[in-house]
Structure 1
Amino acid sequence: MRRIALGLISAACSTVLVATPALADNPHFLFATNTISPTGELTTSFKEVGLGTGTTSVAITLTADTKAVYQCFNNGGNHPKAKNKETVETQEITSADFPVNNGQITGSLTVGPPSKGDFSCPPGQSLFLESVRYSNTRVSDQFGNFKNATPDPISVTLHIPA
C-alpha cells in the first residue's frame, strides 16, 4: 500500500513540476498606443509580457490600413479648381525582432505614410501631403497573440511637401 501511495505522490509531483513552466509562459500585450508624427508617420508603442525566461527574442508585426490624400498647389499657395488630388489607400505592414528582457518587451514600430505612387503635378504646381488616416491598427507576435492599438482610427491634417 505504501508503494502505491508513494508512486501516486511521485507521479503527481512530477506532473506539477513539468506543468509549472508551461503555465508561467502566458504571452499577452498590455497595451498598444498610436501616435502620428508631424510628417504623417504612424508609430505604435506596445508592451508584451508573460514571455517567460526561455524566449530570447520575439518577432512583432504592425499592420494598419492607411489612407493618404495628396494635392497639387500652385506657386501662389492655392489649390487649383481642377481635380489635382490623389487618394491612396493601402495596408502598411512592418516587422522587427525585439529582445526579451525579464519575460517582457517594450518597443515601438513605425509605418507610413503611404507613397504617392506615380501621381505628379503639372508644371508650375507642387505636390503636398494633405492628410493621412490609419485604421485597423494591430500589433501581433509570432505566437498569434495580438492587440488592437488605440486610438483607432487616428488621423491628422497636414500640409507638407511630398
Structure 2
Amino acid sequence: MRIRTTLATTAAALAIAVAPAFAANPHFINASATGPNPEGQLTVSFKEAGLGNNQNINYQADAQASATYQCFNKGGHNPAAGNKTTVLQDVSAFGTFNSGRNGSVTASLTIDPPGPGTFTCPPGQKLIGPTDVSYTDVSITDLTNGVTEPIPGTFS
C-alpha cells in the first residue's frame, strides 16, 4: 500500500512539474487608440499583465470604421456631390506577441480603414481616399485568454 501511495504522489508531482504554464490572472493594464494617421489607419496600443512567462498570446483589435472615397477631376476638384461614397464596415487587426520573462505584453496593432468596395469613378476622374475616416466601438481582445478591453471614444 505504501508503494502505491508513493507512486501516486510522485506521479502527481511530476504532472504538476511538467504542466504548461497558464495565465494566472490575465488583465489589461491600459489600452488606448490614436489616429487616424494620414493613411487613415488607427493604432491600438495596450499593456496586458498576468499572462505567465514566455507565453505566445494572440490579440485582435476591432473597430467600426467609416471611410469616405471621392472622385476628383484633373484640376483637383470634386465635380459632383454624387461622386463620393461612404463605406461603413467592421475592421480588425491581428497579432501574436510573447509575454517574455515578466509575464506581460506591451504592443500595438494597426487597423486599416475599409476600402472603397465597388465604387469607381467615371472616365477622366481619379479615386481619392479615404478622405474622411472615423472609428468607433474600438476594443482589444486577448484571444488566448478571452479577455476584452473596450476603448471608448470616436477617433476621426
Mark yes or no: TM-score above 0.5: yes
CA distance in 1: counterparts of 2:83 and 2:26, whole angstroms: 48
Counterpart of 1:120 in structure 2 is 120
**SS at structure 2 position matched to 1:154:** coil
Native 8 Å contact 1:31 1:149 kept in 2: no
How big is the shift at 1:25?
1.8
Moved over 2 A (4+): none
Counterpart of 2:88 in structure 1 is 89
Q: Could you give the per-residue CA deviations for residues 90-126 of structure 1, whole angstroms, max 9, x where no partner exists?
A: 1012222110121100111111111111211111111
Q: Does 1:136 align with 2:137?
A: yes
Native 8 Å contact 1:34 1:43 kept in 2: yes
Note the 1:1-162 alignment, pairs <5 A: 25-36=24-35, 37-53=37-53, 56-101=55-100, 102-129=102-129, 130-141=131-142, 142-150=144-152, 152-155=153-156
Native 8 Å contact 1:138 1:148 kept in 2: yes
Change (3 A) 1:119 1:153: same
Per the normalisation by structure 2, the TM-score is: 0.78
Change (3 A) 1:135 1:77: same
CA distance in 2: counterparts of 1:62 and 1:85, whole angstroms: 28
Of residues 59-68 and 73-82 in structure 1, the stretch that sits farther from structure 2 once superposed is 73-82
Tell me the percent identity: 43
RMSD: 1.7
How big is the shift at 1:145?
1.0
Amino acid at match of 1:85: K
5+ long unaligned stretches in structure 2: 1-20
How big is the shift at 1:149?
2.2
Per the normalisation by structure 1, the TM-score is: 0.75
Native 8 Å contact 1:46 1:108 kept in 2: yes
CA distance in 2: counterparts of 1:65 and 1:33, whole angstroms: 15
5+ long unaligned stretches in structure 1: 1-21, 156-162
